[in-house]
Amino acid sequence: MTQTRFYRTQNSEPEEDTKPTTTTTVTTGGGGRTAMRVIVPLQGVVQGRGGLVLGSVIPCALFYFLQLYLKRHRSNPTAPPSPPATETTPSSSSSSGQLTEISGLHRSLSRPLLSPRGSTGPAYISSRANSIVKSSDSPYYVGLKKVSEDPYDELDNPDGVIQLGLAENKLSLDLVRDWLAENARDSIIGGGGSGGGELSISGIATYQPFDGLMELKVAVAGFMSEVMKGSVSFNPSQIVLTAGATPAIEILGFCLADPGNAFLVPSPYYPSIDRDLKWRTGVEIIPVPCRSADNFSLSITALDRAFNQAKKRGQKVRGIIISNPSNPVGNLLNRDTLYSLVDFAREKNIHIISDEIFAGSTLGSEEFVSMAEIIDSEDFDRNRVHIVYGLSKDLSLPGFRVGVIYSFNENVLAAARKLTRFSSVSAPTQRLLISMLSDTRFIQKFIETNRERLGRMYNEFVAGLKQLNIECTKSSGGFYCWADMSGLIRSYNEKGELELWDKLLNIAKINVTPGSSCHCIEPGWFRCCFTTLTEKDIPVVMDRIQKVLQTCKSRS
């Protein structure tokens, strides 16, 4: 089982130090606290005191044992003697990634898959599938599951779990609903009862362009400008629509990087990007840690260091992924930082993916600057800049699955358009959104009201935490605050953090996201989404946290 565990560590699920089997790899990674967060274990080995020797000996040894294992367990003598060479060819650059891929092969699942009816043995599924089937036990997913099993409801289930772990916005849904009730009657198949309207059933039933209807692209471009307060205009022909931001990120991953290549991602970053980006593409993520001392702001020096380390390892870095407003911290990237990012990308000849999915959900007065604006104002080869957007957050319609790739690179657009055949937006939803987004008066009012409500909730929530002596970083955007509970954890490490998380989930019954799920290198930080609440819920949440705090007092 060693290798299976090993893979999960590599997958950066925050559970490394709890699994005894991984400790050999992990503790060599330099010792002390940093060891805990080693993302690619072998990377850790190489950088740590073990140095190059261990870094090469361990993988070789593991690989050798694996081959032995495969040889011994090839039960069917008639099967082709497929040499390990064939299995290892696909990924060539990183030996660790390769190793773990193979180690996932057929084993962890073979036993449960053995059907009593089958006489010939287990059904082998792919190692890609094996790698993920059991990976859900990261706290982020555990928490979400817990809420879905026992959701809080003021009247029906007052003892249920309160959701603070999902970045969805319930604050302004009434506005959308009212619009629909008044206006949407004919938006799907137009023309009312006559059936002879401009848009008949064939306008939604038949094949439509996979990358989205042009009318919707025009409407989305308008919405994006509106959300960014007119500071920049978007060209609809540079838009590719996908079924949510999840496939948008993945498609960019497929287009910009080959298996084994890597993206630099400033951490903490939002938890699901690991799965969204890496799983099927075979692309790697190199977290670039930001620190509380700098208010978790991005440092070009750290990026540069990570880039050079990757280069030394022989790993090709294809780009950098930022989220702006940042998820989970909630800070914005200012103009200067964006310019230096662009310079950095140019110097290293890599791409920039800017996830701006919260652009319209800003708090307070700080100005949001889109990467598109920087590109507009700068004489810069735009081909390397790609923006990800969606309607899940700013229009609070995650169920509608509309994601946006906005790129300046014709080749990326061409490939992405073709790749949308695997994940396009269903036509009835497109038609509906076209009429909604084209109602500019409604949209303006929506954005304004939503911002207002968001700001109010944020202030109340943060004030509530403050009364409990829990401080948050100053947030300028997003549906969450980034709360510092490091003073409340029993031991200043990931274990301590997860202990507190567990208490919050199981005793206080609130689901927050622990910093370790976001690859935060400092323990004790938590992301709390407040947009799933109503104002009435805030005292309940604070009450529940308070109860847990009392049990934590012993430390101080």
Residues recognised as catalytic: 270, 355, 357, 393
Q: How far is the CB of 410 from another protein (least distance, A)?
A: 9
Q: How far is the CB of 188 from another protein (least distance, A)?
A: 5
Q: Contact between 412 and another protein (CB under 8 A)? A: yes
Asked if 320 and 352 count as a contact pair (C-beta separation under 8 A), the reply is yes
Q: Contact between 125 and another protein (CB under 8 A)? A: yes
Which token pair is 537? 């819920």
Query: Of 32, 89, 155, 293, which one interacts with another protein (CB under 8 A)?
Result: 89
Query: Of 195, 364, 487, 539, which one interacts with another protein (CB under 8 A)?
Result: 195
The 10 Å CB-count burial string (b at 16+, else e) for 262-299 is bbbbbbbbbbbbbbbbbbebbbbbbbbbbebeeebbbb
Burial class (CB in 10 A: 0-12, 13-18, 19+), 480: buried
Query: Of 51, 84, 90, 539, which one interacts with another protein (CB under 8 A)?
Result: 90
Q: Which is nearer to another protein, 346 or 495 (CB)?
A: 346
Q: Which is nearer to another protein, 76 or 550 (CB)?
A: 76
Instruction: Give the end-to-end CA distance of the chain in Å, rounded to a whole number.
Output: 40
Q: In whole angstroms, give the CA distance from residue 455 to residue 196.
A: 46
Q: In whole angstroms, give the CA distance from residue 227 to residue 61.
A: 54
Asked if 151 and 163 count as a contact pair (C-beta separation under 8 A), the reply is yes
**Residues forming a β-bridge with 286:** 264
Which token pair is 186? 């004919």
Q: Contact between 414 and another protein (CB under 8 A)? A: yes
Which token pair is 513? 């996201």
Query: Of 67, 126, 469, 534, which one interacts with another protein (CB under 8 A)?
Result: 126
Helix, strand, or coil (residue 107): coil
Per-residue binder mask for another protein (CB under 8 A), 17-56, x = binder: ----------------------------------------
Q: Contact between 121 and another protein (CB under 8 A)? A: yes
CA 282 to chain centre: 16
Query: By C-alpha distance, which of 5, 4, 3, 13 is closest to 36?
Result: 13
Q: Contact between 315 and another protein (CB under 8 A)? A: no
Q: In whole angstroms, give the CA distance from residue 375 to residue 255.
A: 21
Q: Contact between 424 and another protein (CB under 8 A)? A: yes
DSSP code string of 207-255? ---TT--HHHHHHHHHHHHHHTTTSS---GGGEEEESSHHHHHHHHHHH
Give the binding range for another protein (CB under 8 A) out of 5-13, 121-129, 446-454, 533-541.
121-129
Give the binding range for another protein (CB under 8 A) out of 16-24, 252-260, 501-509, 545-553.
252-260
Q: Which is nearer to another protein, 9 or 424 (CB)?
A: 424
Query: Of 15, 16, 276, 494, which one interacts with another protein (CB under 8 A)?
Result: 276
Q: How far is the CB of 221 from another protein (least distance, A)?
A: 16
Q: Contact between 398 and another protein (CB under 8 A)? A: yes
Q: Contact between 428 and another protein (CB under 8 A)? A: yes
DSSP code string of 265-291? EEES--TTHIIIIITTT--EEEEEE--
Q: Contact between 351 and another protein (CB under 8 A)? A: yes
Query: Of 20, 193, 293, 365, which one interacts with another protein (CB under 8 A)?
Result: 193
Q: Contact between 275 and another protein (CB under 8 A)? A: yes
Q: Contact between 256 and another protein (CB under 8 A)? A: yes
Q: Which is nearer to another protein, 416 or 505 (CB)?
A: 416
Asked if 472 and 482 count as a contact pair (C-beta separation under 8 A), the reply is yes
Q: In whole angstroms, give the CA distance from residue 7 to residue 537.
A: 40
Q: How far is the CB of 243 from another protein (least distance, A)?
A: 5
Q: Contact between 132 and another protein (CB under 8 A)? A: yes
Q: Contact between 304 and another protein (CB under 8 A)? A: no
Query: Of 67, 233, 295, 426, which one interacts with another protein (CB under 8 A)?
Result: 426
Q: Contact between 243 and another protein (CB under 8 A)? A: yes
Q: Which is nearer to another protein, 1 or 129 (CB)?
A: 129
What are the C-alpha distances in Å from 362 to residues 393, 449, 454?
11, 12, 8
Q: Which of residues 329-348 bind another protein (CB under 8 A)?
A: 346-347
Q: Contact between 129 and another protein (CB under 8 A)? A: yes
Angle CA 421–424–426, to nearest 5: 130
Which token pair is 371? 């990467």
Q: Contact between 77 and another protein (CB under 8 A)? A: no
**Residues forming a β-bridge with 240:** 405
Q: Which is nearer to another protein, 180 or 540 (CB)?
A: 180
What are the C-alpha distances in Å from 394 to residues 177, 254, 522?
15, 26, 30
Query: Of 258, 378, 471, 502, which one interacts with another protein (CB under 8 A)?
Result: 258
Q: How far is the CB of 442 from another protein (least distance, A)?
A: 14
Q: Contact between 202 and another protein (CB under 8 A)? A: yes
Q: Contact between 236 and another protein (CB under 8 A)? A: no
Helix, strand, or coil (residue 355): strand
Q: Contact between 8 and another protein (CB under 8 A)? A: no
Q: Which is nearer to another protein, 50 or 247 (CB)?
A: 247
Q: Which is nearer to another protein, 153 or 294 (CB)?
A: 153
Count of residues that bind another protein according to CB under 8 A: 113
In the chain, the largest separation of any two C-alpha atoms, in whole Å, equals: 78
Helix, strand, or coil (residue 503): helix
